[in-house]
Structure 1
Amino acid sequence: MQVLAGLEGIFAAKGSVLGSSEWVTIDQDRIDAFAGATGDHQWIHVDAERAAAGPFGTTIAHGYLTLSLLPMFMVAVYRVEGARMAVNYGLDKVRFVTPVPVGSRLRGTTELVDAQPLDATSAQLFFRVTVEIEGVERPACVAETVSRQYF
């Protein structure tokens, strides 16, 4: 766990890889729960029998399910000491590079690409999170996120 001590710690870490999370298994229960939460019940995600004959040979996780894991991956690798609040500001770019078959194990590697002061007590942080699939060369997802830290 990388600890960034206040604004100084954030600016000192700019341009560095903060770390990688532990691996998490993407099982069918998680995929089905995401389908239920979002209303996206497309057969490639939830119908194992039909998906077995489909283009991926099994069900696959929703791209947005993979994206929704970013906060879990990020909080596993860093924390900002002294911050009173952090908010998501948005996403600059997201790519779903490789499908995530059910049973895959994923982890996220977080890089603090840039950090810019907003004022004397806050900063805007730009991260790149690469979601890897264990044993697969190409990532599942690469996302550029923006957040704000307030002290």
Structure 2
Amino acid sequence: MTMVINEWQLNGKLNRALQSSQRADFAMYLAWLTPAVDEAAEFYTPEAFTEGTEKNIRRQFDVPQARAFCQTETDIDLMQQHSVALQLGGLAQLKLTSYLKQPPLTQFDDKSRLATEVWQNLSLHSRRRLQQSTPERPDTNPAGLYEVLQQLHEINAA
């Protein structure tokens, strides 16, 4: 059994449950879907967002690269700056410094080192994302939408 991520994987069951006022079925199907917005069917198109476009947008708006969650070699100096900020300015200065220069969140960048308690409290969708398993993208037919609209127009005209 595969994990349900998008509503297109339900083959219209969500829509039929809504139209026939089956609240329990609609709630169950809705609960199966992933809460991640970037995996919603609207954004899950066959054309992937290219790396070059992301770099161009970052350069255009002067946005720096996101920092790694794990500790790097340059973070030792950063932690010393945070220590000095705490000693000289107190908690308020430490908060300001940590907002401007974020400290690492973990010591190691290894997903297999997650504590068992943390892993067990993750949702199934979060576990799937950590394991990097994504569903296959559906083949889209741009002319298919036109055919559906024609069918709907014929139904309304009749």
Superposition TM-score, scaled by structure 1 size: 0.20
Instruction: Judging by fraction of residues, say which structure has more strand.
Output: 1
Higher relative contact order (CA 8 A, sep 6+): 1
Larger radius of gyration: 2
